[in-house]
Amino acid sequence: MENNTEHSDQNNFTPLTVQEVDVDFLPIVYEIIRSVERDFHDNSAKARESQDCSQKVLELQKKFDVARAQIKRLPGIDYNKQDQLKQFEILKTQLRLKRELLQKYRNMCSFETSFK
Amino acid sequence: MASHLSTKDRLLSLIDDIELIAKEIIEVSIAPKSQKLSAADHAQLTDLLLAKDVELKKTLDLAEEQAKIQQKMNELKGEVDNKDQDIHHLQRQLKDAEQILATSLYQARQKLASIVKSRKRPVSSEELIKFAHRISASNAVSAPLSWQPGDPRRPYPTDLEMRLGMIGRPSDPPVNNGHTPSTLNELHRSTTGGVPAPSTNQFTWHPSGELHMSVGGGNSVAIDGRSKDAHTQEDVEVMSTDSSSSSSSDSQ
């Protein structure tokens, strides 16, 4: 049990790629509607179809939940693209400034360390 | 409006929308014929569902782009962290250098101060040699080679010099250490009470290396009575007038 929770925790934090996210809801919706609208003469077939249908509804529900969980694991979508690009620029500027600072320190003057 | 939301929130709300629309469509399909929506409404719902699905796919594409940007950002962050470490390292080195420089500056200033001080009051080498000779002549540095127990010549301070010095002067009860009180008193008088004027004391330096000093009055007589050796007498004479002669040299 504990192992399961640990496993699920790990799953919740490992980043996913967009290709791994399953958002194909339409085929299941289509299947559900088709099975609802189908006419059956046989009662047993009707009952079986209705059972299948309810299972598909559950499956659809599960798919929605899984998709939500997967989206939460996608990296880099905590901001919209504009804000993200702003942050990207800020980081670039930071790196440039730090490089310049280091260069300034290095070119400032040379110390003779022989007396150490 | 959507631009203010984060991409994650947009994706989640799109899924919520799709879920709602899908449920609506399914409920409408199950509902009895009397409550069923018109074909146009149904088509509208379906179009909406399709539109939302398209939007979801587009937003997922955007999320993919953002994931790439995030990867670049992570690399940048790593580089920034590296530079941060470099800067800290350099700062620490600069701090060390500053400390070393501050110490050497302080020492250099002290040295400069002592140079200025020495320039203000120059001491001639002749004077120094004279003083060194005087000290060594009076056995202040080391006892003479022929020293024996009982010999009053010894490196400073002997009882005699102690009494003649500043510490011995104010109120020291005379201690009998084998010396006759009369000679000590007389000596004391000669330096404190009847101190001859510095002009009367004269050092004469001879190239032979001997120091001669003539003291005004018969003050040297007091030492005469204490020591029997003639050479010793001369030494002690020099020692007994040490304070006055050094003051005269200081005043130059």
Higher-confidence residue of B132 and B49: namely B49
Average pLDDT over all residues of chain B: 72
CA–CA separation, B164 vs B189, rounded Å? 10
* pLDDT at B186 exceeding the cut of 80: no
* More confidently predicted of A64 and B202: A64
| Cα–Cα distance, B183 to B240 (Å, whole number) | 13
Cross-chain CB nearest to A25 (options B18, B68, B70): B18
What does the block give as tokens for B155? 């490196």
Residue B202 has pLDDT above 90, yes or no: no
Angstrom distance (rounded) from CA B222 to CA B163: 14
CA dist B83 and B89 (Å) reads: 10
- Predicted pLDDT at A60: 93
pLDDT band of A8, cuts 50, 70, 90: low
Asked if A95 and B79 count as a contact pair (C-beta separation under 8 A), the reply is yes
Cβ atoms < 10 Å from Cβ of A23:
21
Q: Is B36 on the interface with A (CB under 8 A)?
A: no
- pLDDT of A14-53, one tens digit each? 888 888 899 999 999 999 988 887 777 777 888 888 888 8
- Cβ under 8 Å to B: A residues 55-74: 57, 60, 64, 67-68, 71-72, 74
CB B187 within 8 A of CB B160: yes
Give the mean pLDDT of chain A. Answer: 83
Across the interface, whether the CB atoms of B60 and A23 are under 8 A apart is answered: yes
Is the pLDDT confidence value at A9 over 70? Answer: no
Confidence of residue A4 (pLDDT cuts 50, 70, 90): low
How far apart are the C-alpha atoms of B146 and B126, rounded to whole Å? 29
pLDDT of residue B55: 95
pLDDT value for B15: 95
As a three-state string, the secondary structure of chain B is CHHHCCHHHHHHHHHHHHHHHHHHHHHHHHCCHHHCCCHHHHHHHHHHHHHHHHHHHHHHHHHHHHHHHHHHHHHHHHHHHHHHHHHHHHHHHHHHHHHHHHHHHHHHHHHHHHHHHHHHCCCCHHHHHHHHHHHHHCCCCCCCCCCCCCCCCCCCCCHHHHHHCCCCCCCCCCCCCCCCHHHHHHHHHHHHHCCCCHHHCEEEECCCCCEEEECCCCCCHHHHHHCCCHHHHHHHHHHHCHHHHHHHHHCC
Q: Rounded to the nearest 5°, which phi and psi values hold at B205?
A: -100, 125
Instruction: Establish if A80 touches chain B: CB-CB under 8 angstroms.
Output: yes
**Mean pLDDT lowest for which of A46-60, A101-115, B81-95, B202-216?**
B202-216
Position B155 scores a pLDDT of: 61
Indicate the range of A111-115, B2-6, B46-50 predicted with least confidence.
A111-115
* pLDDT value of residue A72: 92
Both structure tokens of B251: 């005043």
Give the gyration radius of chain A's Cα atoms.
29
Q: pLDDT confidence of B133, banded at 50, 70, 90?
A: confident
Preferred mutation among A77, A90, A111 to probe B, highest tally of B CBs within 10 A: A77
Closest partner residue to B67 among A18, A32, A88, by Cβ? A18
Q: Is the pLDDT of residue A62 over 90?
A: yes
Which of A15-24, A57-66, A96-105 is modeled with the greatest confidence? A57-66
pLDDT digit string, tens, across residues B141-174? 777 778 777 777 766 566 776 777 777 766 655 5
Pick the range with the lowest mean pLDDT from A52-66, B14-28, B132-146.
Answer: B132-146
Checking if the pLDDT of B192 tops 80, the result is: no
B242 in Cβ contact with B131 (< 8 Å): no
Confidence check: pLDDT of B235 > 70: no
Lowest mean pLDDT among A2-16, A70-84, B21-35, B159-173: A2-16
DSSP code for A114: T
Average confidence (pLDDT) over B25-32:
84
* Nearest one of B120, B105, B10 to B66, comparing CA atoms: B10
Residue B151: C-alpha distances to residues B12, B42, B156, B222, B229 (Å): 110, 134, 13, 17, 10
Mean pLDDT on B17-28: 92
Q: Do B26 and A74 touch (CB under 8 A)?
A: no
Of A33, A67, A76, the CB nearest to B66: A76
B 98-157 residues inside an 8 A Cβ radius of A: 100
| Cβ-based burial of B166 (10 A; exposed 0-12, middle 13-18, buried ≥19) | exposed
Mean pLDDT along residues B31-38? 76
